[in-house]
Chains A and B, each alone.
Chain A
């Protein structure tokens, strides 16, 4: 049973470019969460999605950041016009869903470096 998959594992972008981060949840999981981790810090919630729905995006910056979880394919976190402050590790987690299990299983993360 494959775990949560994320790609790419490392991504280097120049300031002003776009970054696309992908997350495939565990088999049978329909809920996806994105967290950001700055160096030497804890994880900060960004967005919670179910298939074709954004449930909670209260942790997402208002500009440049967007997320989706289409009916088919992985969830995508998109950062437009990246700036140096976007450099961080971005982790995706998945869970079966409310009322079933509250555990979240994390992917290996994408380490974004903005030069």
Chain B
């Protein structure tokens, strides 16, 4: 089955700096990669996703890049704000099988 690894497990940045979270996956058949943000005690919320036919996707301060050859994808958050502080999870999936394989999470702390 698929194995998703996520790094770093914790990340502390100063407000206004950029944050980068990296994930690798093992199954070359995976073709959908969502990112979720989870605040303490809350539900995971989808913040951005990318499909394997695209190398990069951007939504305001958030961007995701995908390297299919190397089987890794990354989340980039620019101009970080204290409200970006949360745990971020990457996931990998195949269109027709739907179940998500999640990484272990990155706890992002943005210091004001």
Residues of B in contact, count (CB < 8 Å):
25
Given contacts A102-B49, A108-B43, 5 further A-B contacts (CB under 8 A): A42-B89, A45-B99, A48-B98, A102-B95, A108-B42
Point out residues on B near A: beta carbons under 8 Å: 1, 6, 32, 34, 36, 42-46, 49, 51, 89, 93, 95-105
Selected contact of A107 from candidates B32, B43, B98, CB within 8 Å: B43
- 0/1 interface trace, chain A 75-115, chain B, CB 8 Å (1 if under): 00000000000000001000100110011111111000000
A41, B96: Cα distance in complex, Å: 26
Are B102's CB and A44's CB within 8 A?
A: yes
For residue B29, give the distance in angstroms from its CB to the closest CB of chain A: 14
Are A56's CB and B102's CB within 8 A?
A: no
A41, B9: Cα distance in complex, Å: 10
Complex interface: chain A residues within 8 A of B42 (CB):
108
Q: List 28 A-B contacts (CB under 8 A).
A: A4-B43, A31-B98, A33-B98, A35-B100, A35-B102, A42-B6, A42-B89, A42-B102, A43-B44, A43-B102, A45-B99, A45-B100, A45-B102, A48-B98, A58-B1, A59-B99, A91-B43, A91-B44, A98-B95, A99-B95, A102-B34, A102-B49, A102-B51, A102-B93, A103-B34, A103-B46, A104-B34, A108-B42
A91, B1: Cα distance in complex, Å: 21
A59, B46: Cα distance in complex, Å: 22
Complex interface: chain B residues within 8 A of A35 (CB):
100, 102
Are B45's CB and A106's CB within 8 A?
A: yes
